[in-house]
Amino acid sequence: MEKSDITEKEMKVFTPREIVSELDKYIVGQDNAKRSVAIALRNRWRRQQVPQELRDEIAPKNIIMIGPTGVGKTEIARRLARLANSPFLKIEASKFTEIGYVGRDVESMIRDLIELGVNMAKQEEQEKVKTKAMELAEDRLLDILLPKPKKEIEKDPEEKREGMLEVVRSEPTDANSTREKLRRLLRNGKLDERYVELEITDKSFPLVEIFSGAGLEELDMNVKEIFGQILPPKTKKRRVKVKEAIEILTQQESQKLIDFDRVVEEAIRRTEQNGIIFLDELDKIVGSESGSGPDVSREGVQRDLLPIVEGSTVLTKYGMVKTDHILFIASGAFHGSKPSDLLPELQGRFPIRVELNALTHEDFVRILTEPKNALIIQYEALLATEGIALEFTESAVSEIAEMAFSANESMENIGARRLHTVMEALLDDISFNASDTQEKEITIDRDYVRQKLSEILEDRNLSRYIL
C-alpha cells in the first residue's frame, strides 16, 4: 500500500516525453541517448503495474552508451537518477580487479549503493520528524540555558504527580515565565551568538584502519559493529554558539525519533527496485586478443561483473540485497575496442546500445547559453557577488565555442569539458581583479576573446598547457 504509493510518486509522474524534456534543460543534443534512458526509466514504472507473478520475470533493459569523453554520458545518467529519486552510483569499471588481485571487488559497488539508499531514506524520515525534533531540541537547549531548580530535579515522580494537582505557587510560575521569555529570545535569534557547552558523540574509531584493505570491506563493517556494541559510545564536550547548538540537537533528536529498521527496509526496497549504477570506462576492461598479461585480469573483472548484472544476492551490513532489477548504464569511448569484444554473456545483459555524437561548434554555442546551469550563467552569477555585471555578446559566445572546438580538433578531444578551461583562461584577469576594479559593467565581445585567447591557440605548445 504505502510502498506502491512511494513507487508511483517516484516514477509515475514522468512520461518518456517528459523525461526527455527534463533532460533537455541540462544536456544539449544526444536525443537517441535521452530516448533510451527515458524508455528504460518508464519501463520500471510499467513493471510495477503488471501482475506480481510476471513482475519478477521482467529484467531491466541495461544500456551501453558509446562515445567520446565530455559529450554528456555521465550527466544523462546523473540527471535521470535525480528525476527518479533513485540511489545513484557512478563508478569506473577500471577500479575493479579480478578476485585474488589487489583492488576492489565488484560487490563493493552494491554495498556503496545501499549506503546511498540508506542515507536518502534516513534524510527523508528526518525531514518528516523535523518539526517535532526542533521542539525537543529547543527544550533541551532551554534546559542548558536555564537549568531546573535542584528541588524539582530531586523530586520523586509520585510527588511530581501530586504536585500537579496542588494550587500553582508563585515560584514555578516565575521559572516558567523566565523560560518562555528565553524561548521567545531563542526563536527570534537574539541568543544566536551566545556560547553553550554540548556533549557530542565522538565518532572516531582508529582500530578500523588495521582491517581496511582490498576485499575486506565486509570485515571492516563487522569490526565496527562489534566494537561499537561492546564499547560504550565515547562523548566529548564542545563549546558552540546557540545557532549551531540548535542544529546539532535537532539532528540528535531526529535520529532518536526515526525508526531505523523502517529506514533500512525502505532503502533496500528502493535500491533493489530503483537503483541505478553508472559503470564508466567499460571499454577499459575489454582485453585485446593477446590472451596474456593484464588482459587475463580484465576478462576476470568481466566474469566477476556478470553475476551482479545478471542478478544475484549481495551481503551488506544492512542485509541481503538483490541486484536483479538494478539498472546498469555502462559507457565507454571504445576507441581501440568495440562492445562485441565483451564476453558474450555480458553483452547479452546490455541489450540497448546508443552511440553519442561528438560535439560540434553549434553544440558548444548551445552548451554555453541554453542549459539551466549554462557556463555563462554560472560565471555571471559568480561575478555578480562582487557587484560586477558581466555580459557576453553573441559574437563572443560564437568565438569561445569556435576556440573550444578548434582546441578539441587539434589536441585531445575532451568534449564540453574544454569549455571550462577556455572560460577560465578567458576570464582569468577579470576574476582576479574583480574585488578591486572600479568598472562594474563589463562586456565580453569577440575582440576581447581574440585578444585573450588567439595567441594561446596559435602557439601549439602553449595551448597544450593552458587549453
List, for residues 36-86, the tens digit of each pLDDT value.
999 988 888 888 888 988 888 888 889 999 988 888 888 898 888 888 888
Residues 48 and 91 in one domain: yes
Residues 334, 393: one domain?
no
Structural domain count of the chain: 3
pLDDT at 362: 92
C-alpha cell recorded at residue 142:
532551554
Cβ proximity of 75 and 371 under 8 Å: no
Based on the fold, state whether residues 231 and 314 are members of the same structural domain. no
Q: What pLDDT is attached to residue 323?
A: 93
* pLDDT at 337 (0 to 100): 82
Is 264 part of any domain? no
Instruction: Kindly state the average pLDDT of the residues 8-12.
Output: 44
Domain with 405 in it: 361-466
Instruction: Give pLDDT, residue 226.
Output: 55
Task: Say if residue 148 is in the same domain as residue 252.
Answer: yes
Indicate whether 413 belongs to any domain. yes
Q: 424-439 pLDDT, tens per residue?
A: 989 998 999 888 888 8
CB 312 within 8 A of CB 352: no
Same-domain status, 228 and 183: yes
Q: How confident is the model at residue 4 (pLDDT cuts 50, 70, 90)?
A: very low
Residue 153 vs residues 147, 150, 156: alpha-carbon distances, Å: 10, 5, 8
Q: Report whether pLDDT(209) > 60.
A: no
**Does residue 69 belong to any structural domain of this protein?**
yes
CATH number, domain of 416, equals 1.10.8.60
Smallest Cα–Cα separation from 287: which of 343, 333, 346, 354? 343
The pLDDT assigned to 166 comes to 44
Residues 6+ apart with CB under 8 A from 165: none
388 with 453, same domain: the answer is yes
- Residue 83's domain is classified under what CATH number? 3.40.50.300
**232 found inside a domain:** yes
Among 88, 48, 87, 99, residue whose Cα is nearest residue 307: 99
Given 323, 339, 355, the domain boundary residue is 355
Calculate mean pLDDT across residues 212-230. 52
pLDDT in tens, 153-172: 455 555 554 444 444 444 45
> CA-to-CA distance for 13 and 149, rounded, in angstroms?
56
Last residue within a domain, chosen from 339, 355, 371: 355
Domain termination residue (choose one: 257, 288, 304): 257
Q: Is 457 inside a domain boundary? A: yes
For 330-377, what is each residue's pLDDT tens digit?
A: 988 888 788 888 888 888 899 999 988 888 899 999 999 999 989 999
Rg (CA), the chain: 29
Check whether residue 182 and residue 112 sit in a common domain.
Answer: no
Query: Do residues 119 and 31 share a domain?
Result: yes
Do 134 and 251 fall into the same domain?
A: yes
Closest CA to 280 of 102, 112, 70, 86: 70
Q: What is the mean pLDDT of residues 126-136?
A: 86
Q: What pLDDT, on a 0 to 100 scale, did the predictor assign at position 165?
A: 44
* Distance separating alpha carbons of residues 286 and 297, to the nearest angstrom: 10
19-28, 207-216, 307-316, 391-400: lowest mean pLDDT where?
207-216
In a domain, 263, yes or no: no
Contact 392, 442 (CB under 8 A): no
The residue assigned the cell 549503493 is 113
Q: What is the pLDDT of residue 409?
A: 84
- Region of 150 (left: φ > 0; alpha: ψ -120 to 50; beta: rest) is alpha
144 and 165 co-located in one domain: yes
pLDDT in tens, 268-312: 999 998 899 999 888 888 865 444 454 556 788 888 889 999 999
**22 plus 89 within the same structural domain:** yes
Is 262 inside any structural domain?
Answer: no
3-state secondary structure the chain: CHHHHHHHHHHCCCCHHHHHHHHHCCCCCCHHHHHHHHHHHHHHHHHHHCCHHHHCCCCCCCEEEECCCCCCHHHHHHHHHHHHCCCEEEEEHHHECCCCCCCECCCHHHHHHHHHHHHHHHHHHHHHCHHHHHHHHHHHHHHHHCCCCHHHHHCCHHHHHHHHHCCCCHHHHHHHHHHHHHHHHHHCCCCCCCEEEEEEECCCCCCHHHHCCCCCHHHHHHHHHHHHHHCCCCEEEEEEEHHHHHHHHHHHHHHHHCCHHHHHHHHHHHHHHHCEEEEECHHHHCCCCCCCCHHHHHHHHHHHHHHHHHCCEEEECCEEEECCCCEEEEEECCCCCCHHHCCHHHHHCCCEEEECCCCCHHHHHHHHHCCCCCHHHHHHHHHHCCCCEEEECHHHHHHHHHHHHHHHHHCCCCCCHHHHHHHHHHCHHHHHHCCCCCCCEEEECHHHHHHHHHHHHHCHHHHHHHC
Sorting pLDDT into bands at 50, 70 and 90, what band is 318? very high
Q: Would residue 15 count as lying in a domain?
A: yes
Confirm if 396 and 444 have CB atoms less than 8 A apart. Answer: yes
Q: What is the pLDDT of residue 154?
A: 52
Higher pLDDT: 197 or 333? It is: 333
pLDDT in tens, 99-130: 545 556 788 899 999 999 999 999 888 888 88
* Span 10-19, average pLDDT: 75
Q: Do 104 and 15 belong to one domain? A: yes
Q: Residue 144: its pLDDT value, please?
A: 79
